[in-house]
Amino acid sequence: MPTSSTPLAPDLSNSTKVAGRSAPQRGAAKFSKSPKKMLFTATFCAFSIFIALNAVLWKVAGEEKVKGSATDSVADLWSGAGSIDLTVNGFKALKERPTVVLLGSSLVMHPFWSMDAQLDKKIDDIFHHHSSITFGRELEANGCSKQNVYSFAVFGEMASDGYIYANDFLKGDKKPDVVVLGMAPRDFSDAYLTAPTATFTFKKVVGLSNFGRYADAYLPGWQDKADFIATHACYFYGKRWRLQHELEKGLTKAYHFFHLDIAAKSAATAATAASQAGYMSASMIDDRWKNSAKEYRARYRDIENKDLTVQMGFLQKTLAVCKERGIKVVLVNMPLSDTNRELLPSSFYADFRQRLGNLAEQSGNVQYVDLGDASEFNHSDFWDTAHLNFNGGHKLLAHITPVVKKLELETPLKPL
């Protein structure tokens, strides 16, 4: 029996077990590090992958197919931004400076195109023809020097769109001497367009490169600005409607495969035809007139309660830009048929005309031509309730040509 002085051998079993347990634990702790650091690393990697994928998608598939070639169908051009491509690209390609530029919606497009089409049957369709041979000849016949007239009118153009075109394009070696700006009530309030940013022009022409010039005027709130930047910087956010459209196309194909879409397709085709009947030359005159009245009744919906101040402000900006650049303006309140004017609330139209006149007077460089209810325009001068045909176009020229001539006499327009 050992004495109390005899040293006992150390029991290493417990320490070995402890060491055996603690060594892996120490390794695991070293490997796992901080949860916050792991989260940061994972987030950084995910964000880097997202940025790289976003850049690749913008490069490979970000650009939409550009509608604007001669092979585009008329239906495609009416329903998309193709006419904007054609108009802008045509302006950029001009070899000679335009001395007179037409601005406005299809109310300006149609009469100037139809006059040239009547003069020369080989003239391109309304989307591909941007000069005005008839107006140029009329100016020369009235003693003006030879003028190069370019039509920058785009269907569906609002007053806010006109400002973008004037501000972005009518400058430098493409600065005209005179702008003929045709306006009508729909250019200031359209029930189908909820905001200035909803137009084809804004979506097509304004991007990150010129965002700074238009941010405050078109996107007053910081949320609006943030949404715009996100739309143009993030592929998935910016193309969310396109992705949705592609999904709908896939579902449509599936419906077609199972023969479930016949009734829906027929209804959609009928609706499309009805909405475009006011423009299409194949439609009968009576049908075209009725469809035009129906269309504008919808566009004018609740117009008496709409605040026109925003769009009037954009017109004022357009006039200011022209004045700053030394461009003279002929502001035309475009003729409307009795049928169209009767769709407007009582007293609204008189107030509208007065507001245009006041803006013209305040601007100082503007000649105002009010043809809203000019008596010489009758039913036979209109293609539909709002658009003049070639007969009406010649009557329009009879009013604006003397004004342009007067401007040349005051300060000679630069001849070509």
pLDDT of 337: 95
pLDDT level of residue 228 (50, 70, 90 thresholds): low
pLDDT at 33: 59
Determine, yes or no, domain membership for 123: yes
Residue 341 falls inside a structural domain: yes
Where residue 46 falls among pLDDT bands split at 50, 70, 90?
low
pLDDT at 197: 87
pTM reported for the whole predicted model: 0.73
Same domain as 165, residue 115:
yes
Average pLDDT over residues 213-236: 68
Domain count, the chain: 2
Same domain, 200 and 338: yes
In a domain, 12, yes or no: no
**Is 82:68 a contact under the CB 8 Å cutoff?**
yes
Predicted confidence at residue 77, as pLDDT, reads: 75
The answer, yes or no, to whether residue 273 has pLDDT greater than 90, is no
Copy the structure tokens of residue 13: 């079993």
Higher-scoring residue by pLDDT: 25, 151: 151
Choice between 299 and 9, residue whose per-residue pLDDT is larger: 299
Instruction: Give the model's pLDDT for residue 71.
Output: 44
Residues 82, 197 within the same domain: yes
The CATH number given to whatever domain includes residue 374 is: 3.40.50.1110
Q: Is 219 within the bounds of a domain?
A: no
pLDDT surpassing 60 at residue 235: no
Same domain assignment for residues 94 and 196: yes
Q: How confident is the model at residue 234 (pLDDT cuts 50, 70, 90)?
A: low
Residue 279 pLDDT: 46
pLDDT for 374 beyond 50: yes
Q: Does residue 202 share a domain with residue 149? A: yes
Residue 278 lies in a domain: yes
According to the model, what pLDDT value does residue 265 have?
47
Selection from 25-29, 170-174, 190-194 with the highest mean pLDDT: 170-174
Per-residue confidence at 194, pLDDT binned at 50, 70, 90? confident
Domain's final residue, options 273, 299, 325: 299
Q: Of 250, 267, 299, which closes a domain?
A: 299
pLDDT at residue 291 in the model: 93
Same-domain pairing of 173 and 293: no
Indicate whether 257 and 112 sit together in one domain.
Answer: no
Of residues 264 and 301, the one with the higher pLDDT is 301
**Mean of the per-residue pLDDT values of the chain:** 79
In a domain? residue 25: no
Last residue within a domain, chosen from 299, 318, 336:
299
pLDDT value at 27 more than 60: no
| Residue 284, Ramachandran bin (φ over 0: left; ψ between -120 and 50: alpha; else beta) | beta
pLDDT at residue 28 tops 60: no
How would residue 365 be classed by pLDDT, with cut points 50, 70 and 90? confident
135 domain residue, yes or no: yes
What per-residue confidence (pLDDT) applies to 4?
47
Domain hosting residue 396, numbered range: 74-208+307-410
Do 269 and 394 share a domain, yes or no? no
Confidence band of 200 (pLDDT split at 50, 70, 90) = confident
The CA distance from 344 to 372, in Å, is: 12
How many alpha carbons fall within 13 Å on the CB side of residue 154? 32
| Res 271 pLDDT > 80 | no
CB 401 within 8 A of CB 138: yes
pLDDT in tens, 287-331: 899 999 999 999 999 999 988 999 999 999 999 999 999 999 999
Q: Looking at the structure, do residues 124 and 92 belong to the same domain, yes or no?
A: yes
CA 131 – CA 136 distance, rounded (Å): 9
At residue 208, the pLDDT reads: 76
If asked whether residues 80 and 193 sit together in one domain, one would say yes
pLDDT at 215 over 90: no
pLDDT at 385 over 80: yes
Q: Rounded to 5 degrees, what are φ and ψ at 31?
A: -70, -40
- Note the pLDDT tens digit of each residue in 325-364: 999 999 999 999 999 999 999 889 999 999 999 999 998 8
Query: Does the pLDDT value for residue 244 go beyond 80?
Result: no
Same domain, 351 and 367: yes
How confident is the model over 166-171, as a mean pLDDT? 96
Q: Which residue has the higher pLDDT, 41 or 118?
A: 118
Cβ burial of 384 (10 Å; 0-12, 13-18, 19+) is buried
Residues 289 and 349 in one domain: no
Judge whether 48 lies within some domain: no
Helix/strand/coil (H, E, C) string of the chain? CCCCCCCCCCCCHHHHHHHHHHHHHHHHHHHHCCHHHHHHHHHHHHHHHHHHHHHHHHHHHCCCCCCCCCCCCHHHHHHCCHHHHHHHHHHHCCCCCCCEEEECCHHHHHHHHHHHHHHCCCCCCCCCCCECHHHHHHHHHCCCCCCCEEECCCCCCCHHHHHHHHHHHCCHHHCCCEEEEEECHHHCCCCCCCCHHHCHHHHHHCCCCCHHHHHHHHCCCHHHHHHHHHHHHCHHHHCHHHHHHHHHHHHHHHHHHCCCCHHHHHHHHHHHHHHHCCCCCCCCHHHHHHHHHHHHHHHCCCHHHCCCHHHHHHHHHHHHHHHHCCCEEEEEECCCCHHHHCCCCCCHHHHHHHHHHHHHHHHCCEEEEECCCCCCCCHHHECCCCCECHHHHHHHHHHHHHHHHHHHHHCCCCCC
Q: pLDDT per residue over 60-84, tens digit each?
A: 555 444 343 434 556 667 767 788 8
Confidence at residue 389, expressed as pLDDT on a 0 to 100 scale: 96
pLDDT tens digits, 96-113: 999 999 999 999 999 999
pLDDT value of residue 414? 55
